[in-house]
A = this chain, B = another copy of it.
Amino acid sequence: MSEGSKRRLKLWIRLLSVTRGAEAHLREFLRVRHGSTLPRFDVMAALYRRRDGCSMSELSRMLLVSNGNVTTVVDRLEADGMVERRPSEADRRTVFVSLTPQGLQHFEVLARDHEAEVAKIFAGLDDADVDALTEIMKRAAKR
């Protein structure tokens, strides 16, 4: 096994550790301060970016989770009045999901606090680190 593969393995372990730590922190934050969860936040964030709504499949691709998963999270959000389903008229297989006005309002509060919390988590990195990291991540994503 090559030297390079060991270095990449080490990198992966660190990456995972940082990401999981941050996720745990954000989950706790959402739970305690907003009575919400990470998957709910993720779905709402995706719908906030796609303000006109998007299909379940698109949602699943954006979030890198299974489509069955999207169904159950959207089910709960719908039950809470945060999102709504709307059947496509062009293709009756497709279902469009979008934030309700209430969901939009709720998310904007959530997003503001979430951004501040993320900034807190990465406060230990200076601006040069942030830029370098973002750049490298962009390259790592291309596969």
Contacts and interface: CB of A to CB of B under 8 A. Distances in A.
Interface of A: 1-2, 4-12, 14-24, 64, 112, 115-116, 118-119, 121-122, 124-125, 127, 129-134, 136-143
Contacts of A116: 1, 5
A127 B18 contact: no
The oligomer's copy count stands at 2
Contacts of A124: 139-140, 142-143
A1 B118 contact: no
A100 B112 CA distance: 49
Most B C-beta atoms less than 10 A away, residue of A6, A20, A115, A121: A115
B115 A140 contact: no
A119 to B, nearest CB: 4
A18 B12 CA distance: 11
Contacts of A133: 11, 15, 133, 136
Contacts of A119: 2, 4-5, 8-9
B14 A16 contact: no
Contacts of A18: 15, 137, 140-141
A88 to B, nearest CB: 27
A73 to B, nearest CB: 15
